Structure 1
Amino acid sequence: MRKASKTVYVAMSGGVDSSVAAALLKKRGFNVVGVFMKPWQPKGTVCLWEKDREDALRVAAILEIPFLTWDFSKEYKRSVADYMIREYKTGRTPNPDVMCNKEIKFGLFFKRAMKAGADLIATGHYIRLRNGKLCQGKDKNKDQSYFLWTLKKEILGKCIFPVGEYTKPEVRKLARKFNLPNAVKKDSQGVCFIGPLDMKSFLAARIKSKMGRIIHVDGRELGTHDGVFYYTIGQRHGLDIKDGQGPHFVVSKDFKKNILYVGHEKNLLSQKAKLRDINWINSRPNLLPAVIDVKVRYRTPSKKAIMNKDGTIEFIKPERAITSGQSAVLYRGSQLLGGGIIE
């Protein structure tokens, strides 16, 4: 355990996880400063951040720790929301939570905290730090390592993840023990910081849509769609198809021709993917190609795959619905090695 005289700036979202993280650090003797990051709020959406800030402030008052509010709304829009829109415009399906962690929580927040005098930062992520290496959290159902593959080794020595050693039920039990008012608050859903979001309406207000054809992989024309960027690989619902041979899934998109290709479950399987913007958290494995564990979506089991020097991965067994724009996250057992964006 680090010396208890150090100052830790805790990213407090108003949720139970970051609140318990702050409480645990205070109990361990750290000088804790709570920070709420004001997010960008899209027009026409329900404003949740004010209530979240109030919850975080109440927790800080109970813990008797200083509380700050940092306005990152402009930076969030530029680094996360605008990025998300650009990706959808090109036909890819981005993961805004990955970009949020990279640019906001472990980018802007980290830098500003260090400048303000922090020795360390802490968040409520379910992840563990073991001998300078990031590992999956104790609670495998809540593990958030998938969203943290962009982190750099240089900042890990200044990060603490207190709740990574606990399960979610244990965290809620601790919240009750600390008499925190948000002990039973529901977990946030939706896009990082923003919360619940009707993605189709959000995109429709920002990207000009064009109706196009839905074509089966066997060549049959089955219907029309509202715009290819509304759909993602593996999607089943929202397809206006009535040929009696379903279920149908989106298997690929031709963005230039504005065609949505559909097929059956077997048509979703593939074994190869090419990655870009690859990040190795500690260091690139010395010997590539190498067999590692790969996740192509959150809360799914990792699959064995061969990682090649050129950034391609080859799954030992076919993987379902590999999606352009999503993250392929690389592991060795429970250790997070890094990841990349699927082309």
Structure 2
Amino acid sequence: MGKRVYLGMSGGVDSSLSAALLLEQGYDVKAVYMRNWSRDLPGFKCTWAEDLADAERVCVTLGLDLEVWDCEREYKQTVVDYLVDSYAHGLTPNPDVMCNQTVKFGTFADRAFAEGADYVATGHYARAVADPADSAGATTRLMRAADEHKDQTYFLWRVPRDIFARTLFPVGGIASKAEVRAMCAERGLGVERKPDSDGICFVGEVGIRTFLLDTLERRAGDIVDWETGAVLGRHDGAFLFTVGQRKGLNLGGGPARYVVRTDVEKNIVYVTANRDCPALWTSSMELADVHLVAEDLPEGDYLVRTRHTGELRRAHVTLTPSAEHSQAPCAEASAASCQQAGLAARIDFAEPLRTVAPGQSAVIYDGLRCMGGGIIQRPCD
């Protein structure tokens, strides 16, 4: 009762209900809107002002003051630049992973605690639970949300583990998003019909292709058949494509084709029409930039997720010494704050799965508990 909580308010359904629940639970709540990105893109007007207006209306309803913190510099350096650099190197990054580490649980949390906050809170679908094996109560476990479909622990694996002991996830234990919306309506918050935000927030409706072509130089190159080496078409830059991609190849009629590999140095995109092509499947992968949310990760069998809301797959995980040079570019601030610098991992799946684009995250679970994760590397040729 009376503990001071700094809540990240986005103007969305989840953070709005989080504010109401924290007040009902007796916390002293300070609401903060993080302005991370305000730049308009060609054909897309950034919605930050509308989101801020929604957050302000909710705060008025709840009797809360709302502060706006300018986080654009940090966001540009550690999220946007990271995304652009990754694509330029032929990788497919998870910018939300970096945003959580460097902004929401970096800049925001650091300032909140410096100002005297006892806790920080967000509208993430996740749970921070005291470790039952620690009688002193000093250890906190990051657990998947009650709503498995909305679970966001996949995006939290790079957050420093000690922050979870001082983090509240008010909606993490609610069974469904429908129930969250109903609870917003019951409290008269006025945001219950607001649609979920999907995709990369600063890219918006223009899509990642338009954003990258507005940022990186267009480079015409060949689309090549993986099996025969025949040139099938042209593209505007190999960095625009990701492994497994089917749409956007513009090859005219004929069978659907899938991206097997991209070579950004030679500017070639390799495709196949064979859905069973061995290059589209894998039984193992290597991870770099591994970060542990748990205190340790003994070699053994775990569950691994390679996409947000993707299937949890059984796999054998082994921590390994990191290669001298990681393939995954990492923003300097992000690398500096990684607690387990130098860790890598090998994952051997119980059954083959579709190859995942290098640069994506693989997150490791022991039952419901998130143990940590890493950045998927390019397969060895």
Q: Confirm or deny a common fold (TM above 0.5).
A: yes
CA shift digits 1:2-35 (9 cap, x unpaired): xx11000110000010010010000011001110
Determine whether 1:280 maps to 2:292. Answer: yes
Does the Cα contact within 8 Å between 1:39 and 1:194 map onto a contact in 2? no
- CA shift at 1:241, angstroms? 2.3
Distance 2:302 2:294 in 1: 15
State which of 161, 165, 168 in structure 2 corresponds to 1:157.
165
The amino acid across from 2:4 in the alignment is: T
Deviates more, 1:6-15 or 1:297-306: 297-306
Determine whether 1:334 maps to 2:368. Answer: yes
CA shift digits 1:91-144 (9 cap, x unpaired): 111111111111110111100111122110000011112221111111111111
2:221 equivalent in structure 1: 212
Distance 1:143 1:195 in 2: 22
2:144 equivalent in structure 1: 136
- CA shift at 1:321, angstroms? 2.7
CA shift digits 1:185-210 (9 cap, x unpaired): 11112214664442111111211121
Q: Secondary structure at the residue paired with 1:274?
A: strand
CA shift digits 1:241-292 (9 cap, x unpaired): 2473x22100111222111111132221111211111011022223x2x111
2:317 equivalent in structure 1: 307
2:276 equivalent in structure 1: 266
The amino acid across from 1:175 in the alignment is: C
Does the Cα contact within 8 Å between 2:6 and 2:117 map onto a contact in 1? yes
Determine whether 1:19 maps to 2:12. Answer: no
Q: 1:189 to 1:243 in 2, by over 3 A?
A: closer
Q: Secondary structure at the residue paired with 1:266?
A: coil
Does the Cα contact within 8 Å between 2:225 and 2:270 map onto a contact in 1? yes
2:352 equivalent in structure 1: 318
CA shift digits 1:68-104 (9 cap, x unpaired): 1101112111111111111111111111111111111
Alignment of 1:166-205 (within 5 A): 166=174, 167-192=176-201, 195-205=204-214
Q: Secondary structure at the residue paired with 1:36?
A: strand
2:329 equivalent in structure 1: none
Alignment of 1:59-74 (within 5 A): 59-74=58-73
State which of 247, 266, 269 in structure 2 corresponds to 1:257.
266
Deviates more, 1:4-13 or 1:257-266: 257-266
Q: Secondary structure at the residue paired with 1:162?
A: coil
CA shift digits 1:144-171 (9 cap, x unpaired): 1111111222111110001011121111
Q: 1:49 to 1:243 in 2, by over 3 A?
A: closer
Does the Cα contact within 8 Å between 1:41 and 1:194 map onto a contact in 2? no
Q: Secondary structure at the residue paired with 2:171?
A: helix
Give 4+ residue runs of structure 1 displaced > 3 Å after superposition. 192-197
Q: Secondary structure at the residue paired with 1:18?
A: helix
Distance 1:185 1:257 in 2: 44
Distance 2:56 2:253 in 1: 55
Does the Cα contact within 8 Å between 2:9 and 2:55 map onto a contact in 1? yes
Q: Secondary structure at the residue paired with 2:76?
A: helix
CA shift digits 1:18-59 (9 cap, x unpaired): 010010000011001110011223343312011101110111
Alignment of 1:229-244 (within 5 A): 229-242=239-252, 244=254
CA shift digits 1:192-240 (9 cap, x unpaired): 4664442111111211121111112212322222111111111101112
Distance 1:274 1:140 in 2: 26
Q: 1:113 to 1:127 in 2, by over 3 A?
A: same
C-alpha RMSD of the superposition: 1.4
CA shift digits 1:276-313 (9 cap, x unpaired): 11011022223x2x111111111211111111222121
Q: Secondary structure at the residue paired with 2:98?
A: helix
Q: 1:279 to 1:260 in 2, by over 3 A?
A: same
Determine whether 1:98 maps to 2:97. Answer: yes
Q: Secondary structure at the residue paired with 1:208?
A: coil
Distance 1:160 1:83 in 2: 28
